[in-house]
């Protein structure tokens, strides 16, 4: 299956058991330094039903979001037979480059575009954490097959600066410093599959059920409240797929590489606008899409 056809939420720890001479070790720490490129897009309709023209009133797109990411994970076996495992991670990413487009339409399906700004998005951050339990079905063989279930949360703090009005073509405008904070949180089920030995390949798959919340601060809109100008709420689904390679350089330390693909989507939800007058307006959130490609160097330390 093509990786891009998968739907993912939080980056997750994938540490396979070590070779036979270290089967007795109960804990493995996983440190990663990596690069990711993210894409996030959402749109709203003109009404709650989404059937009145325009069905896409406004659409925001962040693309080519480049992130340097640090990751720390742990896998700890809870029993002497090394079957039940606790698995967790935390990660932090710093955004250093990216583009944003803000488009408004008068016609259905992105037609009659009357406003577009193309802006910088070279600030912000990403964070994630996950906690899970797993059960190693084949703990005494060279095969690792571990069903897992857990809870995860992923967040993106996205910025819009250096405003440039493309439609109408009025050019650069001053003062843009808006933000959009996205949060994807909920339970997940998955498994990891691989081998034991001095050189290890692994595959890690997770399916997430998520609650999505987006909080925006549109700093140039004086008719909106601040710091929360509007809020997005929706249910969603995500999938993550990790592929990795690790090899022992000593009894306690292994080096490796890891690739993770994530694809997250929401169902239609609610867009709630908070006006400076105190009034509150609502319309349909058509949906949110987030994809991420992550490339990591990994260091595993075993105890």
Q: What is the pLDDT of residues 1-47, one digit of tens each?
A: 333 333 333 333 333 333 323 333 579 999 999 999 999 999 999 99
Alpha carbon distance 23, 20 (integer Å): 5
Are residues 206 and 188 in contact, defined by beta-carbon separation less than 8 angstroms? yes
> Which residue range(s) make up the domain with 154?
3-302
Question: Would you state the pLDDT for residue 1?
Answer: 37
Place of tokens 């080519």: 64
Q: What is the pLDDT of residue 104?
A: 98
189: nearest Cα among 147, 155, 135, 154 = 147
3-state SS, residue 167 = strand
Count of alpha carbons within 13 Å of 166, Cβ hemisphere only? 11
- Answer whether the bond into residue 54 is a cis peptide, omega within 30°: yes
pLDDT at 82: 80
Token pair for 107? 């016609």
In the block, residue with structure tokens 């967040």: 155
pLDDT at 49 over 90: yes
Residue among 102, 213, 113 nearest 160 (CA): 102
Contacts 24+ apart (CB under 8 A), 270-274: 270/232, 270/233, 270/234, 271/44, 271/230, 271/231, 271/232, 272/230, 272/231, 272/232, 272/233, 273/224, 273/229, 273/230, 274/224, 274/225, 274/228, 274/229, 274/230, 274/231
Q: Hey, which residues does 38 pair with through a beta bridge?
A: 65, 292
CATH at 273: 2.40.128.90
pLDDT of residue 140: 75
Report d(CA 218, CA 276) in Å as an integer.
12
pLDDT digits (tens, 9 = 90+) for 148-187: 999 999 999 999 999 999 999 999 999 999 999 999 999 9
The confidence band for 132, taking pLDDT boundaries of 50, 70 and 90, is very high
Number of domains in the chain: 1
| pTM of the predicted model as reported, rounded to 2 decimal places | 0.88
């Amino acid at each position: 299956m093509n990786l891009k056809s998968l739907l993912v939420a939080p980056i997750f720890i994938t540490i396979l058991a070590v070779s036979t001479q270290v089967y007795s070790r109960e804990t493995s720490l996983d440190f990663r330094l990596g690069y990711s490129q993210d894409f996030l897009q959402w749109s709203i309709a003109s009404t709650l039903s989404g059937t009145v023209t325009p069905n896409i009133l406004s659409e925001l797109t962040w693309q080519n979001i480049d992130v340097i990411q640090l990751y720390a994970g742990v896998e700890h076996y809870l029993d002497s037979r090394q079957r039940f495992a606790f698995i967790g991670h935390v990660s932090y990413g710093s955004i250093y480059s990216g583009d944003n487009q803000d488009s408004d339409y008068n016609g259905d399906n992105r037609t009659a575009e009357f406003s577009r700004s193309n802006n910088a998005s070279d600030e912000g951050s990403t964070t994630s954490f996950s906690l899970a339990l797993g059960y190693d079905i084949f703990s005494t063989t060279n095969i690792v097959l571990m069903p897992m279930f857990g809870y995860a949360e992923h967040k993106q703090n996205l910025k819009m600066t250096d405003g440039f009005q493309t439609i109408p073509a009025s050019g650069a405008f001053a003062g843009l410093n808006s933000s959009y904070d996205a949060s994807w949180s909920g339970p997940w089920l998955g498994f990891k599959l691989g081998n034991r030995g001095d050189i290890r390949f692994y595959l890690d798959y997770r399916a997430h059920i998520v609650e999505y919340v987006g909080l925006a601060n549109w700093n140039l809109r004086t008719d909106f409240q601040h710091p929360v100008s509007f809020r997005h709420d929706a249910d969603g689904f995500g999938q993550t797929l990790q592929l990795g390679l690790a090899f022992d350089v000593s009894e306690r330390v292994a080096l490796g590489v890891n690739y993770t693909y994530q694809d997250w989507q929401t169902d239609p939800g609610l867009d709630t606008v908070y006006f400076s007058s105190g009034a509150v307006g609502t319309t349909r959130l058509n949906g949110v899409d987030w994809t991420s490609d992550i490339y990591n160097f990994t260091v595993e330390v075993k105890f």
